Amino acid sequence: MNQIDITSFLLLLLAALGIFSNNMPITLAMIVLLLLRVLHMHYMFPWLEKYGLTIGIIVLTIGVMTPVASGKISIQTLWSSFLHWKSLLAIGVGILVAWLGGRGASLMSSQPTVVAGLLIGTVLGVAFFRGVPVGPLIAAGILSLLIGKM
């Protein structure tokens, strides 16, 4: 097998893992990437590498903020969250996770050799532990703390 075949096989395997674990995001992501390869749209990969994370974060933020935009969560509810200890703790955890994500993005840029391991761990976490594929940045942030890099 040549390199292209092995890569396509890996994408198919990961798509199957997504199907096996009933995880539609992993399945669809792998199928889209496989289609880009099969349709010889390799020129899309650098663009996706550069902007895919940003686009994903934008879509994720839209999903998280929709209850506020739709009025399901009112401004009064948001303000009252500063008065409850669980909400204050949630704010603190949110700050910590955002900071870890920033460290993770820096680590992934400066040490691309760790990216493969982070991605494999994230896919396995999504497939077998019902996780969501936002893990690579946070995992890289935690890894940066463990190995002392930023």
Secondary structure of the chain in the HEC alphabet? CCHHHHHHHHHHHHHHHHHHCCCHHHHHHHHHHHHHHHCCCCCHHHHHHHHHHHHHHHHHHHHHHHHHHCCCCCHHHHHHHHHCHHHHHHHHHHHHHHHHHHHHHHHHHHCHHHHHHHHHHHHHHHHHHCCCCCHHHHHHHHHHHHHCCC
Which is higher by pLDDT, 150 or 149?
A: 149
Q: Environment class of residue 122 by beta-carbon count within 10 Å: exposed (0-12), middle (13-18) or buried (19+)?
A: buried
- Residue 2 is predicted with a pLDDT of 55
Residue range 4-30: average pLDDT? 83
Q: Cα dihedral angle (111, 117, 121, 122), rounded to 10 degrees? A: 50
Quick check: 1 pLDDT over 70? no
Q: Environment class of residue 140 by beta-carbon count within 10 Å: exposed (0-12), middle (13-18) or buried (19+)?
A: buried
pLDDT tens digits for range 97-137: 888 888 887 888 788 788 778 877 877 887 788 777 766 77
Q: What is the pTM of this model?
A: 0.66
pLDDT tens digits for range 79-95: 888 888 888 888 898 88
